[in-house]
A and B are shown apart, each in its own frame.
Chain A
Amino acid sequence: MSEMELVSKLSGIVGETNVLHDPDRLSAFAVDGVVPRAVVSPGSVEEVAKLMAFATAEKLGIIPRGNGTKMGAGGIPRKLDVVLSMLRINRITEHDVPNLSLSVQTGLTLAEVQKKLAATGKGSFLPLDPPYTDKATIGGIIATNGSGPRRYLYNTARDLLLGIKAVLPSGDIVAFGGRTVKNVSGYDMTKLLVGSWGALGVITEITTKLLPLPEASATLLTSFDDLAKAVALTRKVLHSVLLPSAMELLDGKAAARIGEQGRYLVAFSLEGVVEAVERQLGEIGEMATREGAVATKTLKADDDRTFWVGIRDFALAADSAVILRANFPIAKLAELLALYEKAAQAAGIECAFIGHAGNGILHCYSADAAKTGAFAELIGQFTAEAAKREGNLVVEAAPRSLKEKVSVWGQPRSDTVVARRLKEKIDPAGVLTPGRFVGGI
């Protein structure tokens, strides 16, 4: 199909003003250097359905997009014809305040959602705190199962969502789940779509649980000279009755970057009733001193909030061209981080590390993307060490030149055989995000 024909067909579906095809402007929407032929912004779910049916009929490559914060992730696209911008599909469709549930379309940013929730009734929130605080859209967060430090207490989107609506490659508009916490009617398609990276369907709306705003919150920062001591504190807290909402471990480079001290920093977010927040500040503070902390500090009000935004948006502040994310059983944190630090130093690559100490997740941020050969080797080493410990490693962002040399989704897993069969059933023409997901799906 010629460019003119494509543009005219797309315009027929979404209207001329909602099709971008000026080559100069299209380059901003390139994925790993692959420039789309058009960017379309549908204004309704019905338009998304028509676009998908058209794409399937014409075997076009489609990548759904919100504000583009995750476009650096995934494998290099096999083909890309149309970027599907979801930003105009952005309404809150139902906010059931007493039921503590919210239905919202996916083009809205999480920040906008939180603002509205906090201001309604007694105030509630969606307990998700993924990176890119102001920019990340609901769709991008759900499609990538994006999460942040507070998952320690609140878990992730997979656990919060009650229902989902999506457009399948066939153009079918489908809805799964509902508005209730318990629901076993039919297959749990919601979970299948959360974290599917848009490879099975375009997620258009979610229904999620909400939580009442906590009565009080504060942060405790504890600094250590020694990794073993810092991790020992996190392990004591992990196995205690205490319930922080986040427990983050930062290495010295990461701490310095957000203006904090210490060779290692452990940050605890405490939320809930006033009495419990105060007690935990005291008790974890004492535990930290016993474990050999060199300094402790309490943050409240704006300082508390700013600190966590700094953690969430670390990649922006540090201008990280490369972001890696290792997952592993919780108790492997200390040995893995020590190995990573040593390997990075040996490779001459400057890395900052931040980990969810209670979840077994470790992020590595680096601006040294130019050292492609050495970096690719380092990623291989990191991945192998995580895999050796029942874990894995995903490249969350990297320039194309580096992606070409590594496996961005880590070591292959035995379940890919089923993933492939699912993809072939639901997206037989292979139109959605071709090549970007695990196993080149």
Chain B
Amino acid sequence: MDKETMIAELVKMVGRDNVLSSAMYFKLYEYDASLNRSQPDCIVLTESTEQVAQVVKFAHANRIPLIARGTGTNLSGGSVAVQGGISLVLTKMNKILDLDIENQRVVVQPGIITLDLKNELAKHGYLYQPDPASEKVTTIGGNFGENAGGPHCLKYGVTSNHVLGAEVVLDNGEVIRVGGKALDNPGFDLLGILGASEGTLGIVTEATLRIVPKAEAIKTMLCIFDSIEDGGNTVTAIIGEGMIPATLEMMDNLTIKAVEEAYHVGFPLDAAAILIVELDGLKDGMDRLTERILAICRQHKVREIRVAKDQAERDKIWAGRKGAFGAVGRLRPNYLVNDGTVPRTRLPETLAKVVEIGKKYRLPIANVFHAGDGNLHPLILFDERDKDELARVHAAATEIMEVCAAMGGTISGEHGIGLEKMHGMAMVFSEKDMAAMRQVKAAFDPLNLLNPGKVLPESEKAA
């Protein structure tokens, strides 16, 4: 089908204002937060499930690739239209449909910004647990499609542990429901497989989330270390002592400096590592647990400990952590963030290898990591105009993935495979494992129209 006919047809479904097809818009929608770029043939904003179903049905009938998109914050190229086609933007579908406090559920449209939802819930004393650092700009649809994590996953799990139901538009435009407000619906856990499927299996048009009352007490500690090993060993020791804090977050000196310059949150510029420990739950016994954690820090040569006295101090600490990517981004024109994850006990040796890789490829690497769950985020800084440097960046990123896989970990903890890490899939999966995943893809999307060319590399046979 030629482009003009396609656009005319789509305008009939969603209205002229909701179809974008100028060169400027193509430029705006050609990228996400990764390094990949590719332009869609047409951008469509939908306002209802019916419209989504209509557009998907049209794409199916005409064999047009289709890629669902929220605010485009994807870190692995998942929202880039590598095969052109329709970029289906869901940001207009951003309403809370049913705030059901009584049943501890909220039903939302996929385009709602995560933090907007959380702010609304807070008015009722309720909380949606997942807290990706990008929650200010990301959408729930994107969080679910990528199975986003965040600092609090150590204790509370990732997005898919909190999404209990969804309305899904299938490849052919058929609308189904999976899960729901009730738990344990009979049948395969299709909701489970849809989480982290990166828009390749179906399009979520409505999500039912678990919400919980806010914790009674929170204690946030900022622990400053002169060596990154001491920080890492502290993490292992805390969990070894039988305590599972809500978060155990670390950052290295390069990150600390960048954050301090950008936000002035009071991080010491010469610290080798900062560890943020947060406890939450009932107030009873929390002071005793805090003391135990501080004692462990001291055993591991902590230089200084600051315990947040109030919400303002806590907010300041978290502003530093959640703004880390942005702050580091100011240091060089570009950064590539790795997302490898290792069993937490292997974290110190993995970090040492990351430092070596940085030296080998002559690249500055800033490290921010969810230490409690072994999720590293080495941020490789560079200038993409320097082609030699860019080549070294890709080589270094691949080597970091190899290191994480060799440590018994995985190549992506929470940012997704997308385009960027597809070549790393074989580091953690056999051809048979991937063949089984391809069968799942074929069951949901036999024509391979939904976000084609992502997640699963072509099979060896085909290549």
Contacts and interface: CB of A to CB of B under 8 A. Distances in A.
B154 to A, nearest CB: 7
Interface stretch (B221-229, B235-243, B261-269, B382-390): B235-243
Given A176-B433, A212-B244, A417-B174, A191 B183 contact: no
Given A180-B375, A186-B434, A413 B409 contact: no
Given A187-B197, A211-B244, A359-B183, A195 B188 contact: yes
A240 to B, nearest CB: 7
Contacts of B215: 241
A191 B192 contact: yes
Given A186-B417, A276-B284, A180 B343 contact: yes
A316 interface: no
Interface string A322-364: 0001011111000000000000000000000000000111000
Contacts of A276: 281-282, 284-285
A278 B186 CA distance: 38
A187 B437 contact: yes
Given A122-B242, A189-B440, A184 B146 contact: yes
Interface string B430-453: 101111110111111000000000
B415 interface: yes
Given A242-B282, A273-B284, A330 B104 contact: yes
A260 to B, nearest CB: 26
A47 interface: no
B412 interface: yes
A34 B105 CA distance: 43
Interface stretch (B6-14, B155-163, B360-368): B155-163
A314 interface: no
Given A191-B195, A275-B288, A425 B443 contact: yes
Contact of A241 (B103, B282, B410, B434): B282
Of listed A155, A418, A419, residue having the most chain B CB within 10 A? A418
A166 to B, nearest CB: 9
A306 interface: no
Nearest to A420: B443
Interface in B117-158: 146-147, 149, 153-154, 157-158
Given A275-B284, A360-B182, A188 B410 contact: no
A259 interface: no
Contacts of A421: 443-444
Interface centre among A145, A200, A273 (most CB of B within 10 A): A273
Contacts of B175: 414
A241 B242 contact: no
Contacts of A424: 443
B195 A181 contact: no
A426 interface: yes
A248 to B, nearest CB: 15
B82 interface: no
Contacts of B342: 180
A329 B413 contact: no
A193 B348 CA distance: 33
B213 interface: yes
B301 interface: no
Nearest to A201: B436
B437 A391 contact: no
Interface in A165-192: 168, 172-176, 178-192
Nearest to A424: B443
Given A98-B345, A159-B161, A276-B281, A187 B440 contact: yes
B337 interface: no
Contacts of A330: 102-104
B103 A331 contact: yes
Contacts of A242: 282
Interface in A138-183: 145, 147, 155-156, 158-159, 168, 172-176, 178-183
Contacts of A404: none
Given A172-B435, A178-B408, A192 B440 contact: yes
A147 B242 CA distance: 24
A180 B105 contact: no
A391 to B, nearest CB: 5
B417 A185 contact: yes
B170 interface: yes
Interface residues of A, number: 86
A180 B186 contact: no
A274 interface: yes
B69 to A, nearest CB: 18
Contacts of B182: 327-329, 360, 390-392
A422 B188 contact: yes
Pick the most buried of B147, B197, B439, B441: most chain A CB atoms within 10 A of its CB: B439
A100 B214 CA distance: 27
Contacts of B197: 187-188
Given A101-B343, A191-B160, A180 B440 contact: no
B450 to A, nearest CB: 13
A438 B425 contact: no
A135 B160 CA distance: 30
A394 interface: yes
Interface string A252-285: 0000000000000000000011111011100000
B184 interface: yes
Contacts of A365: none
B186 A409 contact: yes
Interface string A203-218: 0000000011101000
A243 interface: yes
Interface residues of B, number: 95
A239 interface: yes
Contacts of B433: 174-176, 186, 189
Contacts of A213: 242
B186 to A, nearest CB: 5
B344 A418 contact: no
B190 A415 contact: yes
B193 interface: yes
B244 A181 contact: no
B207 interface: no
B153 A182 contact: yes
Contacts of B181: 329, 390
Contact of A414 (B177, B186, B430, B436): B177
Given A187-B196, A195-B189, A391-B182, A212 B243 contact: yes
Nearest to A427: B439
Contacts of A185: 410-412, 417, 421, 424-425, 428-429
B406 interface: no
B456 interface: yes
B157 A159 contact: yes
B410 A180 contact: yes
Interface in A347-403: 359-361, 390-392, 394
Nearest to B289: A273
Contacts of B289: 273
A413 B428 contact: no
Contacts of A175: 429-430, 433
Given A98-B239, A239-B213, A187 B193 contact: yes
A417 B157 CA distance: 30
A190 B244 CA distance: 24
B73 interface: no
B370 interface: yes
A197 to B, nearest CB: 9
Contact of B193 (A147, A189, A359): A189
B373 interface: yes
B244 A155 contact: no
A156 B345 CA distance: 25
B178 interface: yes
19 contacts: A100-B239, A174-B430, A174-B433, A175-B430, A180-B409, A182-B149, A184-B146, A185-B421, A185-B428, A186-B429, A187-B197, A187-B437, A238-B104, A242-B282, A327-B182, A327-B184, A331-B102, A425-B443, A438-B187
Pairs A-B, 3 closest by C-beta atoms: A191-B192, A212-B242, A273-B285
